[in-house]
Structures are given as structure tokens and as C-alpha cells.
Amino acid sequence: MAKEQSATKERQHTNLREPRRYKVTIYNDDFTTMEFVVKILTQVFFKSETEAEALMLQVHHSDKAVVGIYSYDVATSKVRKATNMAREEGFPLRLTVEPEE
């Protein structure tokens, strides 16, 4: 019986790299309450109460703050959830997803 040879090829080089990361930024507005911003930061972004309050104050004084850095899918999912919660409460809260530099 003849030996069969396998048709498996071995790769010499792989171009593996870390997936791109995206930052989620929250912006200040004159209508969204500070309490609601803290609620979003604790429930959607899983920040501690202390960290959420510090970020809320940063947004209040600096007009924006980066609340986290995630993969694209996670970042867009969190922004969508936070935006939906804000709209349900009647707030114009704005969050964006941008590539990390």
C-alpha cells in the first residue's frame, strides 16, 4: 500500500495584532441631571460610586470625560444602552465612540 501524504500547509508568518481599542466619551449638557449621569456610569460602565461621582464632576467642569476604553463592539453596545436609558428618561445625554490614539 502506498503512503498518503497530507495536504496540510504550515504558515510561516502570522500577522497577529491586538484588536483596536475605542474610547467612550461622555459630554456635558444643561439638562441631564448629575444623579442620572452617576446612574449611567455605575449601571452601564460598572464604575464604583466614588469613581462615577468623580467622572461626573469632570464632565461638569470640563464639558467631557473619557469613561472607558473598550473593543469596538463593547464600546458601541455600552453607548447604545446608555443613550437608550437617557432617551427613556427624556435626557439629551451624548456619548461618542472614537479610536484610541
3-class secondary structure, 10: coil
**What pLDDT was estimated at residue 16?**
82
Q: Name the pTM for this structure.
A: 0.82
Written as nine digits, the cell of 38 is 452617576
Query: 27, exposed or middle or buried, with CB in 10 Å at 0-12, 13-18, 19+?
Result: middle
Q: What is the pLDDT along the chain (101 residues), one digit of tens a residue?
A: 555 666 676 667 677 888 899 999 999 999 999 999 999 999 999 999 999 999 999 999 999 999 999 999 999 999 999 999 999 999 999 999 999 98
Q: What is the arrangement of strands in the sheet containing 94-99, beginning at the earlier edge strand?
A: 64-70, 22-27, 94-99
**Which domains, ranges and CATH numbers included, belong to the chain?**
31-99 (3.30.1390.10)
Give the N- to C-terminal CA distance of the chain in Å, as an integer: 61
**What pLDDT was estimated at residue 1?**
52
Nearest to 95 by CA among 14, 48, 41: 41
